C-alpha cells in the first residue's frame, strides 16, 4: 500500500427499502460537504446490472445516459477492448454538484467485472484455481476502486452502490466493501445508508420498520452503517430519529433527516445544518476545517425566489420518466434561475399527440420548445409536427441531437416542400434523406459503445446567432450520435433561411443549424446540457430562456 493509499479516506453509500430514493443526490451532497472544507474528492458509482455500460438501455427503464468528455478504453483482458463514454445518469448529478468532470472508469458495472474475470480465466490468469465470487470477483472490484485512488489521489473517495440492500446482483459489491473496510480500518471508512421512512397519513405517523429491516440486512452482510440518511416527505420528528438510532445501532446525531425539498441544490446546506460534514470528517480522522458554503448558499437563493415563470414544452418519446431527460431539465432550471425565472416543463408524449390540431393546442400558450433527443421511429411524426408549428408561431426552439435532426426534416417538408423528406434511421428509402448515417457508421454492426461519443471541438461560424450566444468561434461539446445532417441538402435550404452555424474541425460534419428569419430557432447535434452547472448555466440554455422571456412578453402585448 503506497503513501497515497494510506491517506485516502472512503465513504460508501448504500440504499435501502427501495430504489430511486436519491442516493445520487445524497452522495453528491456529501461530496460537496468535503469540498466546502477544501478536501479533494472523487466519486465512483457501482451499477449491479450486467451491461458493460448503460448505452443500450432504454431511457424509460433506466433514465438518461450521461456522456463524459473523455472516453475510456476498457480492456478486460489482452486482445479485448471497449470504448466507454456512456455512463450512469448519477454522474451528471455528481458533475453538477461538484463542478468536476468525471472519468468513465469511475462507473463500475457487474458486466465489466464479470467479463474481466471470465476472459481472464480463458487467458489463464487463474491457472490451477477454481474461479469464484470470493475472492476473484471481489478482488477485481477492489482493484477497480484502488486504481481510481492511485490515479486521481483524492483525500476522500465516495463510492455509491446502486440498487437496494438485499438485491442479489449487489451482493458481491457489498462483500467487496466489507473487505475493504476491514483492510483499511473503520477509522478510514464511513458507511452511509440512505433509506426511506414512509409517512402513514391514516395514523399520522412515520414508520421506521422498513429502515430497521434494511439495516439488519446490511448488518447480516457484516456492514454496520455509521450514518443513516432518512428520506421522507417531511422532516423527521425527534421520536422517529430516536427510534431509528436505537434499533439500528447508531447515535441519534448520526440519523440525518432528508425531507422532500423544492430545490435539490439546497441539500448540502441541509446536511451542513445537521452537522453531517463535521460528523464525517471527525469519523474519518480528517482535520476539522471551517465550512465555506456561502457562495453555494447565495447560488441556491437564486433558485428559490424567482420573479418570472416560464412554460417550456418538451415534445418527445420518453416523457413517461422525467429522468430520461435529467440533464436537460436541470440545464433549463440553471438558466432560468440565472434569469430570475422558474421553469414549468410541459411534457408532450408525441406518440399520442402527433397531429397538428392537438399539438397546436399544446403549443399555442408555451414560451419555448425544447425538441428532445432520442432514437428510432416511435413518436417521430409528432416531434416533426411540433417543430413545424414553431416556424409560423415564431416560438423559440432549441433542438438537441435527434431533435435538431427532426427539426431539419420538418423544415425540409414544410419550407422546401420536399414531400417524404426524412431521416434514413426511420425511412431508408426516403426521396430526400436529409439525415443519414455517418460514413464511418455504415460498417458498424455492434451497438454498444460504437457511436460518435464524448467531447469534440466545434468551429462556430461568425455572424450567426450561435456565435453571438457563445461569443467565440471555437468550443468543445459532448456528442452521442450515429446519424448526421447531410450537407448537400442543408446547403439548398439556405434559400429559405436555414443555415449552418457550426461544423466539426474538419468542416465535414454539421454540428449546428439555425433559422435566420426566426427570433430563436437553433438545432445542435451535441448535448450542451451535459456541461451546464447550477452556478454556471450553459450559454445555449441561457439563450433559450432569454428568448422565451421575450416571447412571453410579446404574447402579453398581443
Is 529 annotated as catalytic? yes
Residue with cell 467479463: 115
What gap in Å lies between CA 246 and CA 232, rounded to an integer? 19
Extract the C-alpha cell encoding 555.
Answer: 404574447
What gap in Å lies between CA 222 and CA 174, rounded to an integer? 9
State the Cα angle at 118 between 91 and 446, rounded to 5°: 60
Is 401 annotated as catalytic? yes
No. of helices (H) and no. of strands (E), the chain: 19, 23
What gap in Å lies between CA 42 and CA 28, rounded to an integer? 10
Is 230 annotated as catalytic? no
List 62, 103, 283, 527, catalytic entry = 527
What gap in Å lies between CA 78 and CA 411, rounded to an integer? 49
Extract the C-alpha cell encoding 206.
Answer: 412515520
State the Cα angle at 23 between 19 and 25, rounded to 5°: 130
- Crossing angle of helices 380-393 and 356-363, rounded to 10°: 60
List 136, 422, 529, 551, catalytic entry = 529
List 230, 248, 354, 401, catalytic entry = 401
- As a whole number of Å, the CA-based R_g of the chain is 25
Q: Which of 99, 86, 87 is nearest to 40 (CA)?
A: 99
CA 12, 17, 20, 26 torsion-angle sign: negative
Residue with cell 471555437: 474
Active site residues: 401, 527, 529
Amino acid at each position: 500500500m503506497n503513501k497515497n493509499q494510506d491517506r485516502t479516506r472512503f465513504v460508501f453509500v448504500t440504499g435501502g427499502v427501495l430504489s430511486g430514493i436519491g442516493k445520487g443526490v445524497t452522495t453528491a451532497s456529501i461530496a460537496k460537504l468535503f469540498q466546502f472544507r477544501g478536501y479533494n474528492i472523487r466519486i465512483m458509482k457501482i451499477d449491479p446490472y450486467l451491461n458493460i455500460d448503460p448505452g443500450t438501455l432504454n431511457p424509460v427503464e433506466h433514465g438518461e445516459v450521461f456522456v463524459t468528455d473523455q472516453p475510456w478504453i476498457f480492456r478486460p483482458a489482452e486482445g479485448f477492448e471497449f470504448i466507454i463514454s456512456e455512463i450512469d445518469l448519477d454522474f451528471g448529478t455528481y458533475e453538477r454538484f461538484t463542478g468536476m468532470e468525471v472519468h468513465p472508469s469511475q462507473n463500475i458495472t457487474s458486466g465489466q467485472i464479470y467479463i474481466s474475470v471470465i476472459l481472464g480465466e480463458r487467458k489463464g490468469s487463474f491457472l490451477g484455481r477454481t474461479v469464484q465470487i470470493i475472492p476473484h470477483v471481489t478482488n477485481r472490484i477492489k482493484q477497480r476502486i484502488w486504481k481510481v485512488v492511485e490515479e486521481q489521489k483524492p483525500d476522500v473517495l465516495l463510492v455509491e452502490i446502486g440498487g437496494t440492500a438485499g438485491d442479489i446482483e449487489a451482493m458481491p459489491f457489498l462483500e467487496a466493501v466489507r473487505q475493504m473496510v476491514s483492510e483499511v480500518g473503520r477509522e478510514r471508512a464511513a458507511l452511509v445508508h440512505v433509506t426511506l421512512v414512509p409517512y402513514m397519513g391514516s395514523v399520522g405517523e412515520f414508520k421506521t420498520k422498513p429502515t430497521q429491516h434494511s439495516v439488519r440486512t446490511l448488518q447480516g452482510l457484516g456492514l454496520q452503517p455509521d450514518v443513516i440518511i432518512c428520506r421522507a416527505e417531511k422532516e423527521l420528528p425527534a421520536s422517529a430519529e430516536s427510534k431509528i438510532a436505537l434499533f439500528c445501532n447508531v447515535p441519534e446525531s448520526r440519523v440525518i433527516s432528508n425531507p422532500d425539498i423544492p430545490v435539490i441544490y439546497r441539500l448540502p446546506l441541509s446536511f451542513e445544518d445537521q452537522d453531517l460534514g463535521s460528523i464525517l470528517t471527525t469519523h474519518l480522522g480528517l482535520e476539522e476545517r471551517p465550512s465555506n458554503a456561502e457562495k453555494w448558499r447565495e447560488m441556491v437563493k437564486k433558485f428559490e425566489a424567482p420573479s418570472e415563470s416560464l412554460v417550456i414544452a418538451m415534445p418527445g418519446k420518453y416523457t413517461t420518466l422525467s429522468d430520461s431527460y435529467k440533464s436537460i431539465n436541470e440545464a433549463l432550471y440553471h438558466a432560468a434561475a440565472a434569469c430570475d425565472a422558474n421553469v414549468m416543463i410541459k411534457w408532450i408524449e408525441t406518440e399520442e399527440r402527433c397531429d397538428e390540431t392537438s399539438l397546436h393546442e399544446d403549443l399555442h400558450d408555451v414560451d419555448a420548445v425544447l425538441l428532445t433527443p432520442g432514437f428510432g421511429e416511435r413518436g417521430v411524426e409528432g416531434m416533426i409536427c411540433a417543430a413545424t408549428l414553431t416556424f409560423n408561431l415564431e416560438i423559440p426552439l432549441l433542438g438537441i441531437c435527434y431533435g435538431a435532426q427532426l427539426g431539419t426534416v420538418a423544415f425540409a417538408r414544410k419550407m422546401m416542400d420536399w414531400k417524404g423528406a426524412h431521416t434514413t434511421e426511420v425511412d431508408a428509402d426516403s426521396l430526400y434523406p436529409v439525415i443519414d448515417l455517418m460514413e464511418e457508421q455504415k460498417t458498424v454492426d455492434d451497438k454498444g459503445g460504437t457511436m460518435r461519443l464524448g467531447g469534440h471541438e466545434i468551429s462556430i461560424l461568425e455572424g450567426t446567432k450561435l456565435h453571438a450566444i457563445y461569443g467565440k468561434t471555437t468550443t468543445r461539446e459532448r456528442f452521442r450520435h450515429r446519424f448526421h445532417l447531410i450537407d448537400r441538402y442543408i446547403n439548398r435550404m439556405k434559400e429559405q433561411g436555414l443555415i449552418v452555424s457550426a461544423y466539426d474541425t474538419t468542416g465535414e460534419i454539421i454540428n449546428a443549424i439555425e433559422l435566420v428569419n426566426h427570433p430563436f430557432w437553433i438545432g445542435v447535434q451535441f448535448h450542451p446540457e451535459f456541461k451546464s452547472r447550477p452556478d454556471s448555466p450553459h450559454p445555449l440554455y441561457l439563450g433559450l430562456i432569454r428568448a422565451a422571456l421575450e416571447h412571453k412578453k410579446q404574447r402579453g402585448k398581443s
